[in-house]
Amino acid sequence: MENHVHRAGRPFSSTGTHAFSSALLLSGLALLLLLGVSLTVIFRLIPTQPSNEKWSFQTGSGTIHAVSPTIANGLIYSSSNRYFYALDASDRQQWSFDMVGIIASSPGVANGMAYVGANDAFGHLFALDARSGRQQWHFRSQGNVSSPVVANGIVYLSSDEGKLYALDARSGQQKWHWAYPVDPYPNAAGSYRTATPVVVNGIVYEGSNNGNLYALNAFSGWQQWSFQTRGPIVSTPLVVNGTIYVGSDDNHLYALDASSGSSKWSFQTGGLIESMPIVADNVVYVSSSDAKLYAIQIPS
C-alpha cells in the first residue's frame, strides 16, 4: 500500500479573519441608511466572526465525517475524508498521513502510537508513531472498521464483516478474532454498520447488527454471555458500577448486569438509539432519533 506522511508545515491554508476599517464601516452604514435600507438588513450584511473562536484548521480534502478528535501528549489528532492529522495546540500541523480510504472512525492513541481505521477496499487499521506519523504496521480486515480501542497492550476493533479482532498493539499480530452469526438486521441502505467495542475489567462488550450484545473475555476471545434485543446495536455501550447501558435500534435503552448479562430494566423511546448513553448523579442521559434527549432516573 502506498501511504504518505507529510511533515511539519501547513499544506492547506488556515481560515483567517477579515479586518474592516472603522471609518470605512461607518461611512458605508451611513450611505445605506440614506438609501433607506433598514437596520435589520444592514446587520445581516455585516460579516461576523465568533468572539470565542481561537482557531480553525482547513483540511482541504473533502468531508469530515462524524469522527471525534483525540488529544494526547499535547497533540490533537483528527481527520478529514482521507487524511489523518496531528496538530499542536496553536493549530500548527505536525504531520499528516494519507489513508487512501475514507476515515469514518475516531482514532485511538496510547503508548506513543496512534491507531486509525480506513474504510477502503479492505478495511485497514493503521498504527502510526504518534510523534512522527511514520507507519509502524497495518492490519487488513474484510470490511468497514470501527473506532479502535486500546487496553492492556491490545487493540480491539470490529468490522462489518461480522468479526471482532484483538491485535498486539506493538506488532499488529492478531491474537484472536471472534465471528458473530450472520446479520438478520441490515439497515435500509443495504449495508451494515459497525459498533465500537468497550473493554472494562477484562471483558470486551460488543454490539452487533444481529441485535445481540456480546461479552467476551478480553484475552482469549471466549464468549461469556449474550443479550438479544429486537434491532441492530450501533450504540457504544457504557459500563458504570457493574451495570452496562446500551441502546438498540428497537427504540429501547437497556440496563444489564455487566457480569451475567441479565436484564435489570429497559426504557422505550420513540426512535432508534444509536448514541452512547452517559450517566451522572444516578440519571442516564441518551438521545434518540425521535429528536428527543431523555433523562432517565436509575431505579433504586
Give residue-wise pLDDT tens across range 244-279: 999 999 999 999 999 999 999 999 999 999 999 999
Q: Write the single-letter amino acid at 211.
A: G
Please state, in angstroms and as integers, the Cα–Cα distance from residue 41 to each residue in 29, 30, 31, 35, following that order: 11, 13, 13, 12
Q: Which three cell numbers stand for residue 154?
A: 491490545
Helix, strand, coil abundance in the chain, percent, nearest 5: 5, 40, 55
Give the C-alpha separation, 300 to 288, whole Å.
Answer: 24
pLDDT score for 52: 80
Please provide residue 23's backbone torsions phi and psi, each rounded to the nearest 5 degrees: -65, -45
The answer to whether 282 touches 297, Cβ cutoff 8 Å, is yes
Give the C-alpha separation, 283 to 280, whole Å.
Answer: 5
* Residue 21 pLDDT class (50, 70, 90 cuts): very low
pLDDT score for 7: 58
Look at the block and give the residue holding cell 491554508: 13
Give residue-wise pLDDT tens across range 274-298: 999 999 999 999 999 999 999 999 9
- Single pTM value for the model: 0.77
Give the C-alpha separation, 235 to 206, whole Å.
Answer: 10
pLDDT at 28 > cutoff 60: no
Domains in the chain: ranges and CATH:
1-148 (2.40.128.630), 180-300 (2.40.128.630)
Least confident of 57-61, 111-115, 188-192, 217-221: 188-192
* Residue 45 pLDDT class (50, 70, 90 cuts): low
Higher pLDDT, 238 or 45: 238
pLDDT at 170 > cutoff 60: yes
Give the C-alpha separation, 26 to 286, whole Å.
Answer: 49
As a whole number, the mean pLDDT across the chain is 81
pLDDT > 90 in the chain, percent: 48
Give the C-alpha separation, 84 to 228, whole Å.
Answer: 36
